[in-house]
Amino acid sequence: MHLVSNVKRTFVHMEEAQFTHINHNGQSSMVDVTPKAITRRLARARALVTLPESVTQQMRDNELHLSKGPVFQTAILAGIMAAKKTGELIPLCHPLPLDHVTIEIHLEGHIATIISEARTEGKTGVEMEALTAASVAALTIYDMCKSLSHDIVISQIQLLEKSGGKRDFKRHA
């Protein structure tokens, strides 16, 4: 009985929450941000790329230098470019003028940790831009290293924090 009670409470809580991209007719809809105030927005995201030893053995001076070029530097550029195109890639995202995008990649053992940060001053957040940047940087690492191995795993793409909107968020480790 206790389990059923918890399930009902969870269901009621979920019913009260509303999806912001669905209108009153149940159709997909872009969120109207017209009444929102312009605020400073920030979001940070992370993606992990697990690389096999055959790839990490190529590491020199904090970079993987392959015939296609420097892997991490290329991934950083790809992630920044992707963040700027998020509104074109994700159907209901607003196109945003980004003030700043950074991507850092650190290799520890066999795991490349990608941290992206996006900033703007606007009426809507930059979570999707930060997540897109981390995702595309991870995919770029895969693309550049796949000739060495297909045993590359992209995982844990997640929002780490966001601020400046209705609710701030910070993931606790």
Residue 118 scores a pLDDT above 90: yes
At 109, which CATH number? Answer: 3.30.70.640
Residue 6 lies in a domain: no
Residue 129 lies in a domain: yes
Active site residues: 143
The C-alpha atoms of residue 51 and residue 108 are separated, in whole angstroms, by: 10
Residue 25 lies in a domain: no
> What is the tally of structural domains in the chain?
1
User: What pLDDT does 12 receive?
Assistant: 43
Domain of residue 45, residue span: 40-164
Residue 70 lies in a domain: yes
Residue 95 scores a pLDDT above 50: yes
Question: 47: closest CA among 108, 173, 133?
Answer: 133
> What is the H or E stretch that residue 127 is in?
helix 127-145
Residue 146 lies in a domain: yes
For residues 1-28, average pLDDT: 57
Residue 21 lies in a domain: no
User: What pLDDT does 5 receive?
Assistant: 45
Residue 156 lies in a domain: yes
Residue 133 lies in a domain: yes
Tokens representing residue 152 in the block: 């590359």
User: What pLDDT does 121 receive?
Assistant: 96
71 phi/psi in degrees, rounded to 5: -65, -55
- Per-residue model confidence as pLDDT tens digits over 122-159: 999 999 999 999 999 999 999 999 999 999 999 999 99
Give, as one character, the DSSP assignment of residue 150.
Answer: S
> What is the H or E stretch that residue 70 is in?
strand 69-70
Question: 127: closest CA among 165, 79, 173?
Answer: 165
User: What pLDDT does 1 receive?
Assistant: 45
User: What pLDDT does 17 receive?
Assistant: 55
User: What pLDDT does 116 receive?
Assistant: 98
Residue 85 scores a pLDDT above 90: yes
- Per-residue model confidence as pLDDT tens digits over 16-69: 557 776 777 777 777 778 888 899 999 999 999 999 999 998 888 888 888 889
